[in-house]
Amino acid sequence: MPDFVKAYVRFVDSISFYIGIFAMYLVFAMIGILFYMTFMKVFFLPANWTVEMAQFVMVAYYLLGGAYTLRENEHVRMDLIYGGMPVRRKAQTDLITSVALIFFLVMLLIGGIASTWYAFKYGERSFSAWRPYMLPVKMVMTFGIFLTLLQAVAIFFKDLATVRGEKLS
């Protein structure tokens, strides 16, 4: 594989790793928000922002962790047939499914960009009583999808190298 492909894979793997580690800690932020919500609901007046804020943190956790999950090969797959295949056959199968994944992520990214642009252009706000601006969560959403797309392309290159019998890293 060319050196620029190797550099791309190393760079994307590195970015996915660090952002994935950051995303892991968002679970603790969400737990803190939900604990605060429970405490306030039981002993005082409930805060109207907590449920929606927990949802926003969950969106960030889920979408920023997507690239890390792909990088670590921890995503869901049907291993009934796939698990018994030799490494090279697995890579060939992954090449085919990677094309579908990349297409899906490109479509998601196009929708995410359009949704983020709409939120920016019109100052979109949530319909809840709290009425937060939607731009920050939509920017995180779009960034997470973009990062997952970059990682999917990196995995495509890794599988291509495996099919060719080359080492990429």
pLDDT at 81: 81
Output the CA torsion sign for 150, 151, 156, 162.
Answer: positive
- Three-class SS state of 131: coil
Per the prediction, the chain carries an average pLDDT of: 93
Range name among 17-21, 29-33, 82-86, 148-152 with the lowest pLDDT average: 82-86
* Buried b or exposed e, range 87-123, using 16+ CB within 10 angstroms: eeebbeebbeebeebeeebeebeeebeebbeebeeee
Q: What pTM was computed for the model?
A: 0.91
Cα 12 off chain centre by: 13
Q: Are 145 and 108 in contact (CB under 8 A)?
A: yes
Amino acid 82: pLDDT: 79
pLDDT above 80: residue 136: yes
- The residue behind tokens 């295949």 is 85
CA angle 153, 112, 137 (to 5 degrees): 110
Q: Which residues contact 157 (CB under 8 A, 6 or more apart)?
A: 1, 5, 8, 9, 168
44-97 confidence digits (pLDDT tens): 888 889 999 999 999 999 999 999 999 998 887 777 887 788 889 988 988 999
